[in-house]
Amino acid sequence: MAISGARGRYTTMSDTEPAVVFQTPSRIEADVVRALLETHGIHAAVSSRAPQAVFPVTLTGLGEVWLSVHGEDAAEATRLIGEFGEEVSERLTRIRDEFRAVEEALGYHFSDPGLLEHALTHRSKAHEDVSGGVRDNESLEFLGDAVLGLVIADRLFRECPDWDEGQKSKAKAMIVSTVSLARMGDELGLGQHLLLGRGEERTGGRRKRSLIADTLEAIIAAIYLDGGITAAEQFLERCFRPQLDAVRAGGLTPGLMEDHKSAFQEFLQSHDMGLPDYRLIGETGPAHRKVFETEVYAEDRPLARGEGHTKKESEQRAAEQALQKLEGR
């Protein structure tokens, strides 16, 4: 018999054969429904089919995820899903709201939310899943690195025509470095949204720079797969325009892209001094060559000032000076 229900098809061949009672592109949604069934004594097995589409066809993030129960439990499982549909919907809404917060930070809305879920899934989360239904973001990370490199290389080629190959390569390496990506990921708040395994969670994975940088690359790939190269370019333009402008304005100044702000913040936190507070205190120069001056505070005490051709560069300089002062260098 065939039973239809919200989001799924329910088919029972016999009481001894498994029946699919729920299917979704999101493993998180599948986990919510599985938990509901198992609290009522119905064991649900998870299986998935990874997408087999070939580029340039749009790919889904995780493929379809299925929940199956014994055939004799199919009718009861269907009844429970329907009866508790409002509760399930409420929990799923909270999950979608969390993804919506990520989308707002990114400035991009996914047509396929499964891609965003995939991009946020660390291998530690996938390794804890015995069903094999969770896929980590490492393949997306590989693709995102290539998309990022292409877009930044294109910008440098067009905007720095007088630079030789070595200058462009060095500038590109600074802009797409792990330090730069981790800083951008921190600004987007990616750490709080990562899907981590229990072990990685305990060891502070949400604060690891390399992990946040890798996740940002995976998100770049997810945006590219979801919206194409134009969407990826628009996202990267918003994220990396300050770095591109700083490189163009200051040339290849040594240390331009060093992450003094993160190092300074880590120093303050390790000494129970809270978070730094950056305050813009002045702007000078013509519009095409402005100089910004920023003062950094800790515990409401001014520590140092820095100047730069962008606000972020001036903050980096202030952080560098403050860190040297506190370390007695």
Per-residue b/e over 207-224, b at no fewer than 16 CB within 10 Å? ebbebbbbbbbbbbbbbb
Radius of gyration of the chain (CA): 24
Structural domain includes residue 114: no
Residue after which a domain boundary falls, among 83, 105, 120? 83
Give how far Cα 180 sits from Cα of 64, 104, 213, 244, 314, Å: 35, 21, 8, 12, 16
What are the pLDDT digits (tens) for 223-243?
999 999 999 999 999 999 988
Maximum average pLDDT range among 126-140, 141-155, 289-303, 311-325: 141-155
Residue after which a domain boundary falls, among 56, 83, 110? 83
Do 53 and 28 sit in the same domain of this protein? yes
Strands across the sheet containing 277-284: 277-284, 291-298, 301-308
Do 237 and 270 sit in the same domain of this protein? no
Structural domain includes residue 118: no
What is the band of 254 on the pLDDT scale with cuts at 50, 70, 90? very low
Domains identified in the chain, total number: 3
The pTM of this model reads 0.57
Beta bridge partners of 3: 10
Q: What percent of the chain has pLDDT over 90?
A: 28
**In a 3-state reduction of DSSP, which class is residue 308?**
strand
Mean pLDDT along residues 171-183: 85
Of the listed 64, 112, 186, 217, which one is catalytic?
217
Do 66 and 153 sit in the same domain of this protein? no
Residue 50's domain comprises 2-83
Known catalytic membership, residue 217: yes
Known catalytic membership, residue 145: yes
42-49: which pairs have CB atoms within 8 A and are 24 or more residues apart? 42/69, 42/73, 42/76, 42/77, 42/80, 43/69, 43/70, 43/73, 44/68, 44/69, 44/77, 45/18, 45/69, 45/131, 46/131, 46/133, 47/131, 47/132, 47/133, 48/131, 48/132, 48/133
CATH number at residue 312: 3.30.160.20
CATH number at residue 60: 3.10.28
Do 304 and 322 sit in the same domain of this protein? yes
Of the listed 29, 73, 136, 145, which one is catalytic?
145
Do 272 and 242 sit in the same domain of this protein? no
